[in-house]
Amino acid sequence: MFCFATGIESMHAQVLLNAKVVNGKNEAIASVQVLDVQRKVITMTDSFGYFNIEESLLDAGYLLLKHPNYIEDTIRKPLNANSVYVLKEVVTIKGFTIKTDDVNSKVAGLTVKTELINQAELKKAACCDLAGCFETQGTVQAMTTNIITNAKELRILGLSGVYNQVLIDGMPMVIGLAYTYGISSLPGTLVDNIFVSKGSTSVLQGYESMVGQINVLPKSPDKGEKLFLNTYVNSFGENQHNINFRLGKGKWSNLTALHVVQPAQKWDRDGDGFLDLPHLKRFLFYDKLKYGDENKNGFSFLLGTKIFNEERVGGQWQFDKNKDIGSSLVYGQWVKFTQGDAYLKTGYRWNENERISVSASGVLHAQNSWFGTVHYLAKQKQVYANAQYEKTWRSAHEFKTGLSLRSLNINEQIGFTDTNLRRSYAGNYLKQEFVPGVFVENIFKWRGDLITLITGVRADHHNVFAWKLTPRAMLKIELSEKTSLRASAGTGWRTVNLFSENIGLLVSSRDIVFKEELDPEQAFNWGLNLMHKIKAKKLEGFITIDFYQTRFENQFFPDYDAVPTKAIISNFSGLSVSNGFQTDLNVKYRKQWEIKLAYNYLDVYRKINGEKVLLPFNSKHKLLAAVSYIPKTKKWRIDVNAHWFGVQRLPNTDLNPEEYQQPKQSKPYSTFNLQLSKTWKRLDVYMGCENLLDYRQLKPIVSWQNPFSPYFDTSFNWGPTRGRELYLGFRYKIN
């Protein structure tokens, strides 16, 4: 009797709880590991996704669910006897693992603060190219670098786009000549996801990222629409046409895309004799071939190829590219280039804990350009390769190490058709870089995902500047189930590509004066980010607050202030700082309303002769508000976003003649964008208006009356110049 009673008591003490694990499609997941606090495997799910555990195992606080193709999740008290756990799939990029989610724009659950912009978010605006994909978020700002050809760059923390790294499928390919027009060459219809990281990032992709990283993932060959058609036309007459189609059989899949842009009509609304927007022609072919899955055991392979040809024509209304190129009577700019690039990513995974991968990319760029009487002829050859070994050990460490190689060859020729302006920088400029490197990185997780620490360092040998060391560290602490704290710190460095990254030097009439050879730019960045998730019955979202500081040890910025007719080229080793504060609120109410609010504060300055001098063309204060409404039928939607920009310091023109002097700062201004979308089974029709209130900076070109005078300058563009833009488009898809 005693033994029987003891057995009954033991059965009650070891209550078994039955649970099931599924994915987002409610499909059972087999072979999910259930781990205890010490990350020891207790049991695994069967082929139907079920597992049993003893309730007493939860006395330690939590258990973990782990599977190589899904994000780890936590089991905590209280729980029901028949619980169902849903694991989210992962998207693996070189160096990062990203959560997928139905929320359009969110902060991914990474150690580094990473904002996700997915296809649903991209559909809230026209997003004709990559530069237009950031209208609904506050971290990245697209800035015009040449108002006449509409060249753009992507800025983070108020600093030039050269200080953040733009990756395509995890590969550093937007460099040198590819930087000038690179972000405009990728159509928005080809983009699947964009991951924006602020501050120090992983050392795996290289040493150049100083203030952040933008990783663009084109659409995948093995998912999404089988056929996608898109046509877009705006009120200026510019039109775009896109077609994507994919095929697949077994482990093989392929995506092919075509993109065509036809130019706008001639517009000059402010009467300065210069076109408000250039004539743009572009043809792009893209192909992406894939075999296998890098998240599964075995061999995987990915090959992406792209070739495009582009022509931009701008300048005075009467400029004719066939007879006025190089003329000193009619001012015009003509840019034509062809670029081809390819990238390869291949790897072999032995198991969920061990993998080796090899990736490589190459870019060829040939450009012929005229900026008034300046002839700019350039060619570039670029090669990048990376071999990496990854291993998870002792369950809590993910170790990665490897070798990298970068080769960059740029040949630039500059000449003039007149000598009236006495410009002295004609000649041939060669740049040859060969940079082998070695890197190591470790991801340490303590108590599940409560604390994650990434430490990494790389050493690279430059053929001119010898060895450079790049250490970085990132920390994430889960303060509670809803609140997390992130911190990061690290260095970065880069060499200057003078003309391609500062195209305004060639556009203006200023002479370029070289005081010395340019050293590599170097900076230290650190930052903190606090994120709190909001979860209520009908409300979900998050709020983030962050601060990042970048301090340059050496920096280059053309000096336009010292002499109004010259640009001084020299190193600056004094105090140069960027302080950036940002707070975001992103919520969804009743799954019908999406609201996003963001505030940016930027304090970007240098100390010159003991005086604090703000860098020009930076709004110290900036606001963003975006609202979306989707009715329960989901047949249509409305998207509205508004931007407010505070005053910006402008370059000093006090030494110019009075008629060519400019204000010392810009005016604050606002822009409003509106879009309506209607959805059928296979067809989306969207129409909208950018810059709804038609705000314009009038006559932004200095000395527009005489474009061949010493005071002609196109660098004073601080606001929108093309005014209100209406557009209409449709998307047709077969899934």
- 29 touches 49 (CB < 8 A): yes
Mean pLDDT of 93-110: 48
**DSSP annotation of 517:** P
Residue-level pLDDT at 124: 87
Q: How many helices (H) and strands (E) does the chain have?
A: 5, 42
| Concatenated DSSP letters of 163-231 | GEEEEETTEE---THHHHHHTTSSBGGGEEEEEEEESS--STT-S--SSEEEEEEEPPTTSS-SEEEEE
For residue range 491-548, what is the model confidence (pLDDT) as tens digits?
999 999 999 998 888 888 888 998 899 999 999 999 999 999 998 888 999 999 999 9
| Concatenated DSSP letters of 559-578 | B-SS-TTEEEE--B-S-EEE
Give residue 91's pLDDT band: very low, low, confident or very high (50, 70, 90): low
Torsion of Cα atoms, 149 then 150 then 155 then 160, to 10°? 20
- d(CA 237, CA 242) in angstroms, rounded, equals 17
Mean pLDDT of 587-616: 92
pLDDT at 671 over 90: yes
Give the pair of three-digit tokens for residue 412: 């630039």
Residue-level pLDDT at 105: 46
For residue 328, the number of C-alpha atoms closer than 13 Å in the C-beta half-sphere is: 11
Where are any strands of DSSP class E within 220-331?
227-234, 239-249, 252-262, 279-291, 298-315
- d(CA 683, CA 444) in angstroms, rounded, equals 47
Residue corresponding to tokens 């003039």: 416
Quote helix, strand, coil % in the chain, to nearest 5: 5, 55, 35
For residue range 192-205, what is the model confidence (pLDDT) as tens digits?
999 999 999 999 99
Burial 123-132 (b: 16+ CB within 10 A, else e): bbbbbbbbbb
Angle at 626 between CA 623 and CA 627, to 5 degrees: 150
For residue 513, the tally of other CB atoms under 10 A from its CB is 16
pLDDT at 43 over 60: yes
For residue 194, the tally of other CB atoms under 10 A from its CB is 23
Mean pLDDT of 562-588: 90
Give residue 731's pLDDT band: very low, low, confident or very high (50, 70, 90): very high
Mean pLDDT of 561-584: 89
For residue range 439-494, what is the model confidence (pLDDT) as tens digits?
999 999 887 778 999 999 999 999 999 999 999 999 999 998 889 999 999 999 99
Terminus-to-terminus CA distance in the chain, angstroms?
67
pLDDT at 208 over 60: yes
For residue 408, the tally of other CB atoms under 10 A from its CB is 20
Q: What percent of the chain has pLDDT over 70?
A: 92
**What is the bridge-based pairing of β-strands 212-218 and 164-168?**
parallel
Residue-level pLDDT at 627: 96
Q: In one letter, which amino acid is 122?
A: L
Residue-level pLDDT at 61: 63
Respond yes or no on whether the N-terminal peptide bond of residue 657 is cis (omega within 30° of 0): no
Give the pair of three-digit tokens for residue 270: 């402010």
- d(CA 446, CA 667) in angstroms, rounded, equals 51
Q: Which sequence spans correspond to the domains of the chain? A: 2-88, 96-734
For residue 119, the tally of other CB atoms under 10 A from its CB is 16
For residue range 319-358, what is the model confidence (pLDDT) as tens digits?
999 999 999 999 999 999 999 999 999 999 998 889 999 9
The backbone torsions φ and ψ at residue 260, rounded to the nearest 5 degrees and listed phi first, read -130, 135
For residue range 210-219, what is the model confidence (pLDDT) as tens digits?
999 999 999 9
| Alpha-carbon distance values, 431 to 176, 411, 428, 517 (Å) | 10, 7, 10, 13
- 520 touches 467 (CB < 8 A): no
- d(CA 221, CA 256) in angstroms, rounded, equals 8
For the chain, the residue count is: 735
For residue range 280-299, what is the model confidence (pLDDT) as tens digits?
999 999 999 999 988 889 99
Nearest to 410 by CA among 468, 363, 348: 363
pLDDT at 705 over 80: yes
Per-chain mean pLDDT for the chain: 88
Residue-level pLDDT at 64: 81
For residue range 379-423, what is the model confidence (pLDDT) as tens digits?
999 999 999 999 988 778 899 999 999 999 999 999 999 877 888
Residue-level pLDDT at 295: 84
For residue 8, the tally of other CB atoms under 10 A from its CB is 10
Mean pLDDT of 630-638: 90
The backbone torsions φ and ψ at residue 553, rounded to the nearest 5 degrees and listed phi first, read -85, -35
Q: Which CATH number fits domain 2-88: 2.60.40.1120, 2.40.50.140, 3.30.365.10, 3.40.80.10?
A: 2.60.40.1120
Superfamily name and number for 96-734: TonB-dependent receptor, beta-barrel domain (2.40.170.20)
**DSSP annotation of 299:** E
- d(CA 246, CA 732) in angstroms, rounded, equals 14
Of 168-172, 436-440, 449-453, 695-699, give the lowest mean pLDDT range: 449-453
Give the pair of three-digit tokens for residue 416: 């003039």
Torsion sign across C-alpha atoms 477, 479, 480, 485? negative
Of 105-119, 276-290, 440-454, 694-708, give the lowest mean pLDDT range: 105-119
Residue corresponding to tokens 């063309």: 617
- 157 touches 212 (CB < 8 A): yes
